[in-house]
Structure formats: C-alpha cells, structure tokens
Structure 1
Amino acid sequence: MTQLLELRGVVEAPPDAVAGLLLDVRPGGRSPIAAGGDAEDDGGDRLVVVRDGSRLTVTIDRGAREVTEQSEWWFRSTTAVEADPRGSLVVHRIFNVADGNGRAIRFLARGPVNAAPQRFAEALRRLGEELGVAAWLL
C-alpha cells in the first residue's frame, strides 16, 4: 500500500462531536463525506455503495474515529478524527492498494488525488458549519 496524499485540517470542536457527525456516512447521512449511490447495508459498521457501476466498501471504525472507503481495485481513503489542542484534527489520506500496474495507477489516481483538496476543504467547512465552530485547512 502506497500513500498518495495526506490532507489535514482543524475543527474547533471536541473529537467525539466531530466524529459523531463525520461517521454518519450512510447514504442520506449528516456527514459531509456521506456515501452517495445505492447502498447494500446490513445496519452494521460496513456497507457497500454502488456508484456509477463501481463498488465502494465503506467501513466505520467508531473506536478509532475513522471512516475507510475502498474500491475494488486501487483506491483506498481514510478520514480520521484525532484530538488536538484546538479541538480536533481531521486527517484524510488516499492510498494505492493495487499490486503492480504503477503507470496505470498514476494515470487513474490523478482524478481523485487532484479533486481531494477541494473536497476535503468543503468537508471541513461543512463540519464547522454544522457544529457552529471554526474549521480550516492546515
């Protein structure tokens, strides 16, 4: 597994409050990173979302305050909430989990990696807005 990108931001609210909102990722959930598409959901902490013909497995780890999204081939992202003196540190990482095919992955990864900073900034803004606190990128 190779890390392709890491983004960090602060939300001036306690980690449990931020995680409570961020981890509500089921379709229609309050999280700014809520999964879109048709969900295969058994009500547990794992669901499969079918979006544009692709399957994305979403795993919620409440103890670690983390959401993981993994595609069928190369893409994996984690978004986690950690304690910070200013409130909460939100960390978003994108990984390549495919074996081999380095050139193909570099080509395919450009879209998600290039879109991630703007999406992450918007997610932070929405977290802050929903919680009524300041939030910003680091």
Structure 2
Amino acid sequence: MRLLFEVTGVVHAPLEDVRARMFADVGESGSHRLVDRDQGVIAYWGDWWYRGEDSLHPHPEGALVRHRVYNIARQGNWAPYLANKLFLGYRARLEASMRERVRQLEG
C-alpha cells in the first residue's frame, strides 16, 4: 500500500460533534468499506488500485479531518498513474473537496 495523496482540514467545532456528523449516514463496514467509529476512521476501496481513508483527530481549534489516497494495486502498481492521466489536477480537486467537507462538517 503506497500513500499517494494526503489532504487535511480543521473543523472549528467540538470533536464529538464532528464525529457525530461524520458518521451520521455512513452505515456499517462491508466488503469494500471499513467503518470504525471508535478510532474515527472510514476507509473505502475498489477492486483494483484505490483505497481512500478519512480519519478524525483532536485539534486545538476543534477537529482535524485527514483524507488519504493509497495505491493498493498488487500488480501493475504503475498503471493507476496512466489510468488517471498522471493524476494531473488530482491534488487540487482533493483540496477543494476537503474545503467543502470542512464547511459541511462545521454545520
């Protein structure tokens, strides 16, 4: 498993409020999803290369939300780069998505 991207955002709200909002409608763990409310982690993955993890951490200003994208390809781990056009613009989309997520979690 190779970390490709990591983005973070600070939610200016109490950690437990953010935890309740973050886990409100994620459901339970399944064949392509891990939901660990105690550890503050939601992970989801595909059949080939992608694993995304969202985690929640204490922060002096409220709660830190971290999103990580991993390459989990067992063979041809170079192929996701080609399939995703070398990930051009991917980080910018992740950062924009994180800003929106923080806005939503602040309620």
TM-score, normalization by structure 1? 0.67
Contact 1:60–1:67 (8 Å) recurs in 2: yes
Per the TM alignment, residue 112 of structure 1 is displaced from its structure 2 partner at its CA by: 9.1
Separation in structure 1 between the aligned mates of residue 95 and residue 82 of structure 2, nearest angstrom: 18
Contact 1:68–1:76 (8 Å) recurs in 2: yes
1:107 maps to 82
SS of equivalent to 2:5: strand
Contact 1:83–1:89 (8 Å) recurs in 2: yes
1:30 maps to none
2:29 maps to 46
1:75 maps to 50
Farther off after superposition, 115-124 or 102-111: 102-111
Evaluate the alpha carbon distance shift between residue 108 and residue 25 of structure 1 in structure 2; reply closer, same or farther with a 3 A threshold.
Answer: farther
1:127 maps to 105
Which structure 2 residues correspond to residues 1-138 of structure 1 after superposition, within 5 A? Answer: 1-26=1-26, 45-47=28-30, 57-109=32-84, 110=87, 113-114=90-91, 115-128=93-106, 130=107
Letter in structure 2 aligned against 1:17: D
Separation in structure 2 between the aligned mates of residue 72 and residue 112 of structure 1, nearest angstrom: 23
Letter in structure 2 aligned against 1:8: T
Please, which runs of 5 or more residues in structure 2 have no aligned partner?
none
Please, which runs of 5 or more residues in structure 1 have no aligned partner?
27-42, 49-56, 131-138
Evaluate the alpha carbon distance shift between residue 20 and residue 60 of structure 1 in structure 2; reply closer, same or farther with a 3 A threshold.
Answer: same
Farther off after superposition, 98-107 or 68-77: 98-107
Per the TM alignment, residue 72 of structure 1 is displaced from its structure 2 partner at its CA by: 1.1
Separation in structure 2 between the aligned mates of residue 23 and residue 111 of structure 1, nearest angstrom: 31
Separation in structure 1 between the aligned mates of residue 74 and residue 88 of structure 2, nearest angstrom: 19
Evaluate the alpha carbon distance shift between residue 69 and residue 116 of structure 1 in structure 2; reply closer, same or farther with a 3 A threshold.
Answer: same
Contact 2:71–2:77 (8 Å) recurs in 1: no
SS of equivalent to 1:6: strand
SS of equivalent to 1:102: coil
Cα root mean square deviation, aligned: 2.1
Letter in structure 2 aligned against 1:60: V
